[in-house]
Structure 1
Amino acid sequence: MERRSVRFDHLIKMTDDTGILEHGFGTIPRRNEGYSTDDQARALWVCLEWFKHGRPEDQQQLERLAEIYIAFLLWAQKEDGHFHNNFAYDRSKEPEMPSDDCLGRCLWACAKAMTAAPAPSFAMVAESIFQKALPQVDHLRYPRGWAYSIAALGMLQRAGYDIDLTSHIQELAERLAALYRRNSAPGWSWFESEITYSNAVLPWGMLWAHEMLNWTDLLDIALSSLDFLIGLSQNEAGQIRPVGSQGWCRQGYRALWDQQPIDVMKLALASAKAYELTNMHKYKSAVTKCRNWFYGGNDLGAPMINERDGSCCDGLSADGPNINCGAEAVISYLMTEAIYEEWIQH
């Protein structure tokens, strides 16, 4: 596919002086549904990526948005280093249990800001947040939090930060590997008994672990699980068909609908990492197919995005795209474009 002009109008529209709002009614922000810290971390990541790849005229706006998102993370972090995730529009905290996924995403976004920030003040704030959150890594219970944390720690180690993170990476990688060995079986090369959401983050984390530790078995697990997921995530025409959230996937059953942009983005992310480490064309092809999904390379031939404002539909159902355009969807689209720009276009 040709290079396209990416617009940030919808990302800007969804963001107020507190942060990016979680949901939209069509393309109009739903203020009564408030904010999630998850989305701030994702949005910060997107801004940092596009600060590298975007047009010079967009950089000032992206830096302003990134300041809002990192300020939210600073505010949402609790005294013990964890993060409160869900906030009402009036900034009050909503009841919840601590989220491993949220902690992992925040660690990753901060690691990105520490290594690729547009201004020194970003790196300083991100490092403060990261250092405060780091002790919580030992208490993570769920695999997506492990995977995000491995990637964050690996990025800092690769950048030469003066912190010894190897033991953390090794511990989390061993947990993920043990999970894979416990659940994988002939015809089921996966970490869990069910494939649910944000799936490709698990092989992505293992790819980072292999890069840092250089353990062959980690690479074997990463590529076997990623190949299985890629194979499972294509239709008869070879287009991307992510596992639907309307029932998920287990041995003997696979939901077709509602396909989520976040799963397409994560598949592009893991495939790009696999391409970086192996230089195998099939992973480059997978990234391109993920990008094509947003432009109509999907089961219904339905474009998921509006190129005039950069908005993205929340999901693909049997009846067509969900016309609501929330934070997670627009971030997933913009992130997939950034991945394509970095690994495929150049």
Structure 2
Amino acid sequence: MYKQLLITGGAGFIGSNFVAHWLAQHPHTQVTILDLLTYAGNMANLQSVADNPNLSFVRGDIGDKALVSSLFAEKDFDCVVHFAAESHVDRSIEEPDIFLKTNVLGTHNLLECAKQHWLYPGAKPRTHLFHHVSTDEVFGSLQPGESPFTEENNYKPNSPYSASKAASDHLVRAYHNTYQLNTSICHCCNAFGPHQHTEKLIPKTIHAILSNKTIPVYGDGLQIRDWMYVHHTVEAIERIITKGEKGEAYNVGYNQEKTNMTLIGETCSLMDKLFADNTQLQRQFPEATKAAEGKSKELISHVEDRLGHDRRYAINANKLSAHLNFSQTGSFEENLLDTIRWFIQQHTKVSTIDI
């Protein structure tokens, strides 16, 4: 088992959930987080593990070769778990350069530093792994009725974001095949849960309802995504790291396809029910009048569609379940309700609300 982990982007949404999960499951390992703390990273995401003596944090850029090399030399990492990435599609449309810099050149720098530390001339063979966290978006868009993506699908990225992630995937695969670097890749579907940035669909919807503001929906809102609770996502990633085959890629999905309109509608309904069942919430959020009336869906407003908006993503995760014996527990509604409760608590910062 790996003893010294470098987790890039560990203060971000999925990264911070993974850090907490890994430390709970592997309490005798040492974890170093490298995060630049851009808009997506937040030290508050690590509050639950801040006092863990096995965790250290370094603020820095994955593209800084001197920094990354020095960390490898100091910590003697045997595993890299690479979450760090620019990931918001809208931002990639407006500023594609930063996505290429971070997602492609940054990943290449990490691979080079790992290769030089683990596979230098004369080095004795040692246990090591470079695990790269990617996305289902590299496969492009599916039409209704098409089979979900498998790991064998051709890459057809449609946005600067997904193109940059596809390029980084290819680099990871190339370092495995050319240099025999031990690698693995996971293609994750849409995750949701605690610590997600408020620009994402579910937290944006929750905060809009609490503030009685418009819930913006791109186009007709019938884009389809596969959704997975982040706690299950990080469990799957841990399983790939500890049990997966070197050089392999694994799809991480829940087989839970929903249109954006369906997901927003379910979020609105659960918010309305919470407000109906808890008058304390109504007092805490007097501006949330639509939720108090059970009419949160009236806040929905359709806006101009995103450029190059992929219509459907769907993941076939049979390889993960069959080869690595991975399964999930809990219903989607329970997971969504837990997420809503978490964001309400964060919005108020009042822990006495009983929801």
- The two structures share one fold, judged by TM-score above 0.5: no
Q: Which has the higher helix share?
A: 1
Scaled by the length of structure 2, what TM-score is found? 0.27
TM-score, with length taken from structure 1? 0.28
Structure of larger gyration radius? 2
